[in-house]
Structure 1
Amino acid sequence: MARSKTSQKWLDEHVNDPYVKKAQLDGYRSRASYKLIEINEKDKLYRPGSVVIDLGSAPGGWSQIVAPVVGDNGRVIASDILPMDVLEDVTFIQGDFTEESVYNEILDALDGQPVDTVISDMAPNMSGVNATDQYSSMYLVELALDMARNVLKPGGNFCAKVFQGVGYDEYLKDVRSSFDKVYIRKPAASRPRSREVYIVGKGFKS
């Protein structure tokens, strides 16, 4: 079956993307790794000894760069509906964290440890219908914020990918109600035409 002009354009853009090529050279699983690297350089979301939850983790691009930083005294618990190849020093839980059983599995893995940081690079399977996709993506980031509120220790940090559109302003206001400082980041590795931004919350108000 012939590819549509849109999918062919995306494929050409992806293949020629300098961050895709750089990720292959650097041994990263995803070009998204560079987004988190840049955000963390600015916002210091995690450090040696941090306990981090990575939502929407597959293929592992974010967990892969967090684990070496938090080191032996820290922890990374990653979760995704999709499978993810094993990463050293990362506990991976496959399943839909919106289901109680998976959510409880994440809590069990924490074993009572307070969480320093929740990061989320989740995005829904895009249907191509803008309104539907926007609602689906906002639903996911609202759930990520709910989890952060349930597990973060006072002063903890949050970072989530959000698509600008319907519900974005209300979501930003909601994040601001729970954190001392909130920043909006558009990393260099994020394609300019993409509506994605990263909302960073620092200093969780428990």
Structure 2
Amino acid sequence: MAKKTSGRGARDLTVKVKTARGRRSSSTRWLQRQLNDPYVKRAQAEGYRGRAAFKIMELDDKYGFLRPGARVVDLGCAPGGWLQVAVPRINALGDTPGKPKGRILGVDLQEVEPVPGAEIHQMDFMDEGADDRVKELLGGRADVVMSDMAAASSGHKQTDHLRIIALCEAAAYLAFDVLDEGGTFVAKVLAGGAEGDLQKILKQRFAKVAHMKPPSSRSDSSEKFVVAQGFRGVD
């Protein structure tokens, strides 16, 4: 690890990671990027489970869908950073006097460490009957369905793009089944051309559809987020 000094004795804290014998250079680059990522450091300092927490903050700051009293479903909620952000914003703990108490349901294939104020269930949202199960657990329809899910990387850019679009479409169809009229759908997609059909479907079902790349999203990443608001309701 090397540290340089510059100006008034200030240290340049950029961390240099040596490529260990047997470690792939791509792994070394990933590790060095993680160690020097300001959002990773900020997440650690503020107690969030990952840098993705800042993405949902920035999306909500612009579009304002996490309101006190909202009923929220977080698909693919591991490791729980989005839940951590949503709990205080919807007043899930009921600790903000004078504001309605919200409710948030986290769903994931893997076990997730508990988040105070959130109800987490280990299940596959693509199973038959999952929509009814979600509504049962939530005690009614949702105001927000959000997803930061990404399919496992294959290393082939176009294949990964198609996989995440398919995953986003599956999340969208669950949202159609569980959202209340006027609700919001938020999900991660990858820029690459195949998202046109998804956007067409969303524009039919929602009053407004927008895309945003949050400032906390890495500049070299093709990810962006779709925010569809004003659900037109069940046919």
Query: RCO greater where, 1 or 2, for CA within 8 Å and sep 6 or more?
Result: 1
TM-score computed with the length of structure 2 as normaliser:
0.83
Q: Helix, strand or coil: the match of 2:77?
A: coil
Matches within 5 A, 1:54-65: 54-65=74-85
Instruction: Look up the equivalent residue of 1:47 and give its one-letter code.
Output: R
Asked whether the 8 Å contact 1:79–1:95 carries over to 2, the reply is: yes
TM-score (norm 1): 0.94
Q: What is the aligned counterpart of 1:89 among 117, 129, 142? A: 117
**Any conservation in 2 of the 1:93–1:106 contact (CA below 8 Å)?**
no
Q: Report the count of equivalent residues.
A: 205
Does the aligned pair in 2 maintain the 1:156–1:203 contact within 8 Å? yes
Q: CA deviation at 1:11?
A: 1.5
Letter in 2 for 1:45: F
1:116-131 maps to which residues of 2 (within 5 A)? 116-131=143-158
Matches within 5 A, 1:37-76: 37-71=57-91, 72=94, 73-76=101-104
User: Equivalent residue for 2:227?
Assistant: 200
User: Structure 2 stretches of 5 or more lacking a match?
Assistant: 1-20, 95-100
Q: Provide closer, same or farther for how the CA distance between residues 61 and 161 of structure 1 changes in structure 2, counting only shifts above 3 A.
A: same
Answering whether residue 33 of structure 2 is matched by residue 3 of structure 1, we say no
The corresponding residue for 1:145 is: 172
Please state how far the C-alpha of 1:3 moved relative to its aligned partner: 2.4
- The Cα of 1:108 is off from its aligned counterpart by 2.3
Aligned-residue offset at 1:2: 2.1
Q: Comparing 128-137 with 158-167, which one deviates more in the overlay?
A: 128-137
- Please state how far the C-alpha of 1:167 moved relative to its aligned partner: 1.5
**CA RMSD of the aligned region, Å?**
1.5
Match of 1:182 in 2: 209
Sequence identity of aligned pairs in percent?
A: 38
Q: SS at 2:22's partner residue?
A: coil
* Secondary structure of 1:86's aligned partner: coil
More helix by share: 1
SS at match of 2:181: strand
Structure index of larger Rg? 2
Secondary structure of the 1:140 match is: helix
